[in-house]
């Protein structure tokens, strides 16, 4: 299997120093291993994606010296594939429509027991309100959720060197997924697939062997590992890197224009300066 990694930004805002670090780290790893480095445009959320940001991504990466192996994959070009996979999964009876809005979930979730968190990697842990609904009842304004209770009992985490078997002090067991993750969203209203569902299909489709991404996605990984198991996909190896933070110690976000690469470029920084700023070897 050829060492294959990827950088998968969403074209919803400018790339900042954190993106540059992630992209250059993954790119360096691919080149050191004579592997492939892929660029994927995660534009599943068409309401927030903009061509101008996609153009800026290409431009910033080229400026950084990051070169990618063609073709570029765009999620928006594969919507029918996500839907087909989702319908295949639904045939097993584990996918249900959900009309709950955030405030409904908050109201329905009884106060979590002591020591139990209210939030997991897919947002507020879903109390199961719509679990009894049939897939065929789906209305356009519904999301689709996966009923973990249907199969999680059979789940023997195939965690080894390829991914997290533990989340902090917790082992990622069936009970852990049920109590600390909850039924994940597979598709939001008006969208063919959720983030978790689309990325595991994309990574598998592109034969990604190594996912290099920030440690803010560590929790997302054990949910995605479960979905991979459910779909019979072979999991990549995950490498979670440290986050680049601002001077106040906060992680950078798309709205942090001050850290946008475009800003550094306009002020005359060089790609070597950026490597130094994020702590990557230069020269």
The residues that touch ligand GLU, with contacts defined as CB under 6 A, are 8-10, 42, 199, 213, 217
**How far separated are the first and last CA of the chain, in Å rounded?**
30
Task: Specify the residue for token string 């990574």.
Answer: 203
Q: How far is the CB of 60 from ligand GLU (least distance, A)?
A: 14
Cβ proximity to ligand GLU: between 217 and 243 the closer is 217
**In the bound complex, what is the minimum distance in angstroms from residue 9's beta carbon to ligand GLU?**
5
Minimum distance from residue 116 beta carbon to ligand GLU (Å): 26
Structure tokens given for 78? 């594969």
Which residue lies nearer to ligand GLU by CB, 135 or 218? 218
Of 4 and 10, CB closest to ligand GLU = 10
Nearer to ligand GLU, 177 or 208 (CB): 208
Phi-psi region at 111: left, alpha or beta (left = phi > 0; alpha = psi -120 to 50): beta
Minimum Å gap between C-beta 153 and ligand GLU is 27
Instruction: Please state the closest distance from residue 202 (CB atom) to ligand GLU, in A.
Output: 9
Q: 139 exposed, middle or buried (CB, 10 Å; 0-12, 13-18, 19+)? A: exposed
Task: State CA 280 to chain mean position distance.
Answer: 24
| Cβ distance to ligand GLU smaller for residue 9 or 120 | 9
| Integer Cα distance of 111 and 118 in angstroms | 8
- The Cα–Cα gap between 51 and 43 comes to 10
Considering Cα of 243, then 31, then 69, then 53, what sign does the dihedral take? positive
Dihedral of alpha carbons 208, 212, 214, 215, sign: positive
Q: How far is the CB of 217 from ligand GLU (least distance, A)?
A: 6
- By beta carbon distance, the residue nearest ligand GLU is 42
Distance separating alpha carbons of residues 144 and 133, to the nearest angstrom: 10
Minimum CB distance to ligand GLU smaller for 42 or for 147: 42
Strand residues in the chain grouped as ranges (E): 4-7, 36-41, 69-74, 95-98, 119-120, 123-124, 143-146, 166-167, 170-171, 185-187, 210-214, 237-241
SS3 state of residue 196:
helix
Minimum CB–partner distance for residue 74 and ligand GLU (Å): 12
Nearer to ligand GLU by Cβ, of 128 and 184: the residue is 184
Distance CA 2, CA 80 (A): 28
Question: Strand 143-146 relative to strand 166-167: parallel, antiparallel, unpaired?
Answer: unpaired
């Amino acid at each position: 299997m050829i060492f294959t990694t990827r950088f998968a930004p969403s074209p919803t805002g400018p790339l900042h120093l954190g993106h540059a670090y992630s992209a250059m780290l993954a790119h360096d790893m691919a080149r050191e291993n004579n592997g492939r480095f892929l660029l994927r445009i995660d534009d599943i959320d068409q309401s927030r994606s903009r061509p101008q940001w996609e153009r800026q991504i290409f431009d910033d990466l080229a400026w950084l010296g990051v070169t990618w192996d063609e073709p570029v994959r765009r999620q928006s070009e594969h919507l029918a594939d996500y839907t087909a996979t989702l319908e295949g999964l639904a045939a097993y009876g584990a996918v249900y429509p959900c009309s709950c809005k955030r405030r409904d979930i908050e109201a329905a979730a009884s106060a979590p027991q002591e020591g139990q968190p209210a939030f997991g990697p897919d947002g507020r842990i879903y109390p199961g309100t719509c679990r009894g609904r049939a897939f065929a009842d789906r209305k356009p304004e519904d999301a689709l959720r996966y009923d973990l209770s249907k199969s999680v009992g059979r789940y023997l985490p195939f965690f080894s060197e390829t991914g997290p078997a533990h989340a902090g002090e917790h082992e990622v067991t069936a009970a852990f997924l049920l109590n600390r993750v909850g039924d994940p969203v597979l598709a939001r209203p008006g969208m063919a697939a959720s983030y978790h569902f689309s990325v595991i299909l994309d990574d598998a489709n592109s034969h990604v062997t190594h996912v290099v991404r920030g440690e803010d996605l560590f929790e997302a990984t054990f949910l995605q590992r479960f979905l991979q198991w459910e779909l019979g996909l072979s999991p990549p190896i995950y490498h979670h890197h440290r986050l680049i933070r601002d001077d106040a110690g906060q992680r950078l976000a798309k709205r942090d224009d001050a850290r946008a690469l475009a800003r550094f470029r306009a002020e005359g920084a060089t790609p070597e300066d950026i490597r130094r700023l994020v702590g990557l070897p230069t020269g």
